[in-house]
Structure 1
Amino acid sequence: MKKLIAASILAIAIAYPTTAQTPPFDTPAPIAYLEDLSSGAVLYAKDADRRIPPASMAKMMTAYVAFDLIKQGKLKLTDTFEVRPETWKKWHSQGSTMFLAVGEKPTVEDLLNGIVVLSGNDACVVLAEGIAGTDEAFVNLMNQQAKKLGLNNSQFGTTNGWPDEGRTFVTARDLAHLAKATIQDHPQLYKQFYSRTSYTWGKTLGAGAAITQGNRDPLLGKVAGADGLKTGHTEEAGYGFTGSAEQNGRRLVMVVAGLDSYNGRASESVRFIEWGFRAWSPRPIASKGRKIGDVEVQGGGADTVAVAAPRDLNATVPAGTSPELKGRIVYQGPVKAPIKAGDHIADLIVDTPGMPSQTLPLVAQADVAEAGFFRRAWLGLTSLFG
């Protein structure tokens, strides 16, 4: 039976260590969350686990489901879905729109731009119906995906976040984790769609001029390295935003919700993420490829396997401080063979005085094949007398 195994293996101290005191920050947002994805450090959390209506931030899950189907080869960007008259009638004038027309056959790529860039409620439903047959069936896919991603405090009742009497709810922490999954699981699709600043679709009445709408992301063009994700607004939810930026190898994900104005959301989002980059600094832990320790192996040609840093690993500490850091290898083990070099089989938990623990990935440094017949027999025999 596997068990959680932890071993203290790392102690990094500076000659004159200083205390890690969290830099002060205050926000008018009733809900806020900021995480450094490079280290797993939560830099700020304010009512981050309160269930709230996501408004259009729910569209991040709609896009994630589509991205996942594309990755699996079950959906293509060139696939087309026809706009049904019933769908157009219900959604052509309900909140944000892509300005789809009855009988049009936009591609999946068009619809994803309509969802991510234009926040089109109509685009969400057309995509959902094209993929799953009905909007409701697609919502089931969203909730299945939420469960797989561990979004335990989130539930989806619509594909576009339209108010639905409380059936749809999320938390700021879950929204940040959904953003992280989008960025890490689908990096090319994330880059293709979320950083686009505008998109053109539809024609104006009368003149028939092309309609170009801008991306509402308040960080794009204002914060260095900003490249997505999604705003949201309803009367009930207020103004919210889930966003991300990467600077010098550090990627932050932020969430604010419940703000009372469009401009307030924009200014607070910029201020919040800039504080994250300015008030915190990376602290080197291990260079790429460095062996950190060994983990136990079950049923393999070797009893242990070395684990190493898959990239340059850094902890996040308050700028200008040099606190003592202590590390533990943690894994569900023994890890069952076969194991491939590069498999993520353990984590390095870094503890810093005055801060929550930070979690960094560790990977197998070598292949471990399943044990052969004679070794399995020997392992079985020794277990009887162990």
Structure 2
Amino acid sequence: MARAGQSQRSRRPVDRLKNGLAALAFIAIFAPIAARSQAPTIAAPQAILLDYDSGTVLYERAADTPNFPGSIAKMMAVAVVFREIEEGRLSPDTEFKVSEYAWRRGGAPSGGATMFAGLNTSIKVSDLLRGAIIPSGNDATIILAEGIAGNELGFSVKMNEEAKRIGMTGSSFHNSNGLSDPDQKTTARDLAKLASFIIRTYPDLYKIYSEPDFLWNKIRQSNRNPLLGMSLGADGFQTGYLKEAGFNLVGSAVQGDQRLIVVILGSKTEKERAEDARKLLEWGFRSFESRPLFEAGQIVGEATLYGGQSGGVPLTGTSAIKLLVPRNGDERITARIRYEGPIHAPVQKGAELARLEISRGDQIALEVPLVAAESVAEGPLWRRAMDGAYELVVGLLRDGYAKIAARLSAATG
């Protein structure tokens, strides 16, 4: 198991001078073994490979660079619909009418991906979901958007609210279907977060993504996800394409007790997109193993506390913390606790206070939330006064350093 290092209490002057960000660093080192398995060469300009269970990033390339999602935006739309169903506001048997806008914009007349919904017909939500997921029908997502929110604009508000709730900080959605919009952007990392969220939150509804085909209006269409036929254990997600963005893909696959999520953005061809995803998944399943770092409930470290009965609060994970590492690896594993300070008492047990940032070599491989392992009550008046005076002095020093740095920066131009 990894161990936290120096007590946070003895580091206050150093920590509090870092622009208000308190941080405790510690190192855990796994014994190096010979050579490590090299990641495959891929052509995609943006990509990420994520272990679903631990959240470990196994591979990334420009994972925070914004790109147009194309039809992958439907994943966000579907997540909104799944939530409406799960929370009882929408039934799979509810029927929505096909408007002329949905029919012309996303149906057969549009020439794009469609479920071939008939104008002025009424279709069950369960069928619209399959139409949006399996053949990636633009009409299906527009009909769902209009049925739930009245129009696409109103539905995009829901999409962005849900994206924020999931923690997709690099995404902005303006329509449900992924058709060209200069303001609609996402990142590989955000899409991996979205995929993990859907699998974890809606396991039964997620199964639709693995269905091989969909029959509607006497037309049978195959699932557009190329990974489903590659014997990789794939069971979802979606593909997308826009001329200005290239070919995109989000996929998930299971082998044994391990699930990996892969995102490919900006490929030049469908073949290149599928091949890059296959390479990363095969390499991930072959080359990594899980290592425990902290058991459930184990103290990871301590955060400085102001005005409390004690000068710090112990931190723990919300569950066991483990990391995927190369089977034959020589990378140094380091970790850092980060939190915004000062943290003021009282603190309730279970309150999220910090994040544990674990790096494998130079790459951040895992970030997990840390919570208070125990409650800490407000301290006596004399302690609060001392902590307040300390924070005032450190704050003045911090501001002074900031002004000096700004002047030096301006002078050196």
1:339 matched to 2:339: no
Structure 1: how far apart are the matches of 2:131 and 2:243? 22
1:237 matched to 2:245: yes
SS of equivalent to 2:228 = coil
1:320 is displaced (CA, Å) by: 0.8
Aligned twin of 1:199 = 214
CA contact (8 A) 2:346 2:376 kept: yes
SS of equivalent to 2:38 = coil
Aligned twin of 2:280 = 272
Per-residue CA shift, 1:226-274, capped at 9, x if unaligned?
Answer: 3321111244433221112344554432111333443443333222211
Aligned twin of 1:92 = 107
1:142 matched to 2:159: yes
Aligned twin of 2:333 = 325
Aligned twin of 1:130 = 147
Structure 1: how far apart are the matches of 2:70 and 2:58? 25
CA contact (8 A) 1:9 1:293 kept: no
CA contact (8 A) 1:20 1:353 kept: no
Written as runs of structure 1 = structure 2, the 5 A alignment for 1:128-207 is 128-164=145-181, 166-184=182-200, 186-188=201-203, 191-200=206-215, 202-204=216-218
1:7 to 24, 31, 34: 24
CA contact (8 A) 1:20 1:355 kept: no
Structure 1: how far apart are the matches of 2:310 and 2:125? 48
Per-residue CA shift, 1:343-371, capped at 9, x if unaligned?
Answer: 544332223334435323434445x3765
Partner amino acid for 2:266? G
Structure 2: how far apart are the matches of 1:370 and 1:80? 53
Unaligned runs of 5+ in 2: 1-15, 391-413
CA contact (8 A) 1:19 1:354 kept: no
Structure 2: how far apart are the matches of 1:109 and 1:377? 61
Aligned twin of 1:67 = 82
1:34 to 30, 35, 49: 49
Partner amino acid for 1:131? I
What is the TM-score normalised by the length of structure 2?
Answer: 0.75
Q: Indicate how the Cα distance of structure 1 residues 231 and 291 shifts in structure 2: closer, same or farther if over 3 A, else same.
A: same
Aligned twin of 2:13 = none
1:124 is displaced (CA, Å) by: 0.6
Unaligned runs of 5+ in 1: 205-210
CA contact (8 A) 1:118 1:199 kept: yes
Per-residue CA shift, 1:86-114, capped at 9, x if unaligned?
Answer: 43243321311122223333233322222
1:104 matched to 2:112: no
Partner amino acid for 1:348? L
Structure 1: how far apart are the matches of 2:124 and 2:381? 57
Aligned twin of 2:364 = 356
Count of residues paired in the alignment: 370
CA contact (8 A) 2:36 2:328 kept: no
1:313 to 321, 325, 338: 321
More helix by share: 2
Aligned twin of 2:398 = none
1:128 is displaced (CA, Å) by: 0.5
1:305 is displaced (CA, Å) by: 4.5
Aligned twin of 1:82 = 97
Aligned twin of 2:291 = 283
Percentage of pairs with the same residue: 35
1:218 to 214, 222, 226: 226
Written as runs of structure 1 = structure 2, the 5 A alignment for 1:291-306 is 291-296=299-304, 304-306=312-314
Structure 2: how far apart are the matches of 1:337 and 1:80? 50
1:118 is displaced (CA, Å) by: 2.5
1:327 is displaced (CA, Å) by: 2.8
CA contact (8 A) 2:345 2:376 kept: no
Q: Indicate how the Cα distance of structure 1 residues 300 and 180 shifts in structure 2: closer, same or farther if over 3 A, else same.
A: farther
What is the TM-score normalised by the length of structure 1?
Answer: 0.80
Structure 2: how far apart are the matches of 1:302 and 1:225? 51
1:286 is displaced (CA, Å) by: 2.2
SS of equivalent to 2:159 = helix
Q: Indicate how the Cα distance of structure 1 residues 78 and 263 shifts in structure 2: closer, same or farther if over 3 A, else same.
A: same
Q: Indicate how the Cα distance of structure 1 residues 229 and 345 shifts in structure 2: closer, same or farther if over 3 A, else same.
A: farther
Structure 2: how far apart are the matches of 1:170 and 1:145? 14
1:59 is displaced (CA, Å) by: 0.7
SS of equivalent to 2:67 = coil
1:322 is displaced (CA, Å) by: 4.9
Q: Indicate how the Cα distance of structure 1 residues 352 and 270 shifts in structure 2: closer, same or farther if over 3 A, else same.
A: closer
Structure 1: how far apart are the matches of 2:169 and 2:319? 29
Q: Indicate how the Cα distance of structure 1 residues 112 and 338 shifts in structure 2: closer, same or farther if over 3 A, else same.
A: farther
